[in-house]
Structure 1
Amino acid sequence: MAPVFAKVMGGTITLGAAISLTGKYRTNGTHTLNGYDLAVKAINVAGGVRVGGKTYRLAINHHDDKSTIALSIYLVERMIERDGIKFMLGPYGSGLTKAVATVTEKYKIPMVEAEGPSRAIFSQGYKYLFAVLSNSGQHLASSIALALEIAKKNGKSASDVTVAVVFENDPFSLDARAGVIEEAKNHGVKIVIDDKLPRDPSDMSATLTKVRAVKPDLLVVSAQSKGVVTVAKLLKDLKIDLPMIAMTHCEVARLIAKFGKASNGFLCPTQWAETLTYKDTLFGTAAEYSALFKKTYEGYKTVPYQAAQASAAVMVWKDALERANAFDIEKIRQALADTNMKTFYGDIKFSPAGNNIAKPMVLRQIQNGEFNAVAPSKWASHSVEWPRKVPGG
């Protein structure tokens, strides 16, 4: 089969994106677009993208998918067929990303996505999809690694570590649970409780009473914000004192505001934090990226991780295009598959399934009312407080 080349008009390489600027995903969609735009500006200021001995500027052709799957599919297909776009950036969210991926695979158009973490996306056998973020199965897996690190420092082995897992029955929570179970089995860690939380929050006390009796080294809570609040309340009311507790959605659930000192010590996963020591030659450190983002876009007190990973996706495109050194689509696809780079967002290397296997989830611990990055310890800004200090305990 003859090579397929992208049409690059003039001196500009155009990346396509259907992104949610209205509808239910509009807030995070806007964060994502800002991240894309900031990286494009930074790359162009730094000299652009060099391919085949010529320097090109980057640009983005984006359209509002209004947070709907059908429109997102239509827009991506139109950009490919009508506009001749051969390089795609992902939409916001797992549902839209999974839907759009069927289109990019059909047309054999590479897509670098930053906002679709669902494990299901990476089980479809896609060859043209590459994701910079950690998938949903990795969200709490870092807590196992941290527990093992602490155990080793205390002269214990993996088989000495006990873990209790409690989870809700939604797709995200089940993905996060699966990642924890897989990580525990890989290291020989004992799962002593593996309980599905009941739909009625008032019935969760039975599971938490069991946790109090078993006293695991680590409690992992995989739930949506309402479930997380209920578990946090029960931990406080039942005076459950455990050395490590990790749970999803700490910020959305507003645990610090609702529970004050009782939330101290909770470990909370995030894709990225501006206090990490990651760095690259384009943006510098995570903190320098954060400062530039806040200077460029008004109204941000902190930089959303959605924006950071969106910028990283654009950086991957620059890196792959320069290594391919041609506009042959298959050469570019292979260059993407061979990606192995360090960025302010973290390391990026893709598995055959397209997910990033080089960047673990970050764990932040609530310490005196602040979220501080404590893992991976190599990149952390603070040391983990272990065992967890319970007020009045």
Structure 2
Amino acid sequence: VTEKFGVPMVEAEGASRSLFTQGYKYMFAVLSTSEYYLAPVLDIIAQRAKAGWKSPSDLRIGMAFENDGFSLDVRAGVLDVAKKYNMKIVIDDKLPADLSDMSATLTKFKALKPDILLISGHSKGAATAARQIEEMKIQAPVIAYTHCEAAKVHEKFPKSAVGVMCPTQWLDNLPKQDKYFGDAAKWNADFKKVHPSYTEVPYQTAQASAAVLVFKDAFERANSFDQVKVRDALAATDMETFYGDIRFAPEGNNIAKPMFYRQIQADGSYKPIVTYEDMDFPRKVNY
């Protein structure tokens, strides 16, 4: 629709890599694309392995992904990094369409005992994973899955959530700021004041605010509502916000910021993970 009618769009929730391989000129996204959601955790674990665990090439991975564009892009990113380290993928499953049961995958995981469990299935998939990991008492040195915060796994499944590595587009302690929201910590505190039911703020809300800032900046630089002029202004975006730096590739995705990781702690808090030294490793949980 944006291309057909030439209407500029700044989106904050669609991370699928396939959105940015179609040659679209009017769609821009403030977020990192889906192939970077779980792949970087393998880089972190490879560094941990080199520091005194085992050779990265000896690491074994069990993984399961929803059969949709987003999750298959996540899988593609994982495959690229696993190949880089010669890691062995021993389970590579597609989750059922309704995302209500992944016990078959977890049964194989218990039998084969891989070192790493990776899952991507949006919020419902995260909730199913957390529930059945707890029911089946899955033990693994490393577990990572997408949409931890949105699924509120730290509240609904506190036992199995402990130690889980969660990809996030944003951290609330980032040293980034803008003149409207202040820094990341201030935006986070202000959001919780307005919405006190949130113990952890989903990154999706932060990037929605960032998308508004990008549009505001582009309208001001274009000094016009002309669709082509606004589109060109968006393409030239180069700014710092509380959410992070934003600069668009010709394809429209943000190339100025990385994905980040947080690890769920026993008290339900999310600890920022920058290097392997920040991790609680191996994951320890009492079911």
TM value normalised by structure 1? 0.60
Structure 1 residue 179 corresponds to structure 2 residue 77? yes
| Aligned amino acid, residue 117 of structure 1 | A
CA 1:186 to 1:340, structure 2 compared with 1: closer, same or farther past 3 Å? farther
Q: Secondary structure, in 3 states, of the residue corresponding to 2:144?
A: strand
CA distance in 2, matches of 1:304, 1:390: 24
Task: Give the structure 1 partner of residue 33 of structure 2.
Answer: 135
Q: Tell me, which stretches of 5 or more residues in structure 2 are unaligned?
A: none
Does the 8 A contact of 2:36 with 2:74 survive in 1?
yes
Task: Give the structure 2 partner of residue 277 of structure 1.
Answer: 174
In our comparison, the structure showing a higher alpha carbon Rg is: 1
CA distance in 2, matches of 1:142, 1:221: 14
Q: Tell me, which stretches of 5 or more residues in structure 1 are unaligned?
A: 1-101
Pairing 1:84-123 to 2, within 5 Å after superposition: 102=1, 104-123=2-21
CA distance in 2, matches of 1:234, 1:361: 27
| Aligned amino acid, residue 177 of structure 2 | D
Greater relative contact order (Cα < 8 A, sep 6+): 2
Task: Give the structure 2 partner of residue 262 of structure 1.
Answer: 160
Equivalent residue for 1:290, pick from 175, 188, 192: 188
Describe the superposition over 1:54-100 as per-residue Cα deviations: whole angstroms up to 9, x where unpaired: xxxxxxxxxxxxxxxxxxxxxxxxxxxxxxxxxxxxxxxxxxxxxxx
Task: Give the structure 1 partner of residue 110 of structure 2.
Answer: 212
What percentage of residue pairs aligned between the two structures are identical?
55
Task: Give the structure 1 partner of residue 204 of structure 2.
Answer: 306
Q: Secondary structure, in 3 states, of the residue corresponding to 2:24?
A: coil
How far the C-alpha of 1:385 sits from its partner, in A, is 1.0
Does the 8 A contact of 1:139 with 1:269 survive in 2?
yes
Describe the superposition over 1:330-387 as per-residue Cα deviations: whole angstroms up to 9, x where unpaired: 5654453343433211222322221123333332222013231423459xxx932111
Describe the superposition over 1:223-252 as per-residue Cα deviations: whole angstroms up to 9, x where unpaired: 255544444444345443211101233345
CA distance in 1, matches of 2:212, 2:184: 16
Does the 8 A contact of 2:155 with 2:268 survive in 1?
no
Structure 1 residue 250 corresponds to structure 2 residue 148? yes
State how many pairs are aligned. 285
Does the 8 A contact of 2:146 with 2:166 survive in 1?
yes
CA distance in 2, matches of 1:226, 1:255: 10
CA distance in 2, matches of 1:202, 1:111: 34
| Aligned amino acid, residue 384 of structure 1 | M
| Aligned amino acid, residue 265 of structure 1 | G
Task: Give the structure 2 partner of residue 383 of structure 1.
Answer: 278
CA 1:145 to 1:328, structure 2 compared with 1: closer, same or farther past 3 Å? farther
CA distance in 2, matches of 1:348, 1:228: 28
| Aligned amino acid, residue 280 of structure 1 | Q
CA 1:201 to 1:298, structure 2 compared with 1: closer, same or farther past 3 Å? closer
Q: Secondary structure, in 3 states, of the residue corresponding to 2:91?
A: strand
Describe the superposition over 1:262-308 as per-residue Cα deviations: whole angstroms up to 9, x where unpaired: 3211122333342x22312423321112234455x465645443332
Does the 8 A contact of 1:273 with 1:373 survive in 2?
no
Does the 8 A contact of 2:246 with 2:254 survive in 1?
yes
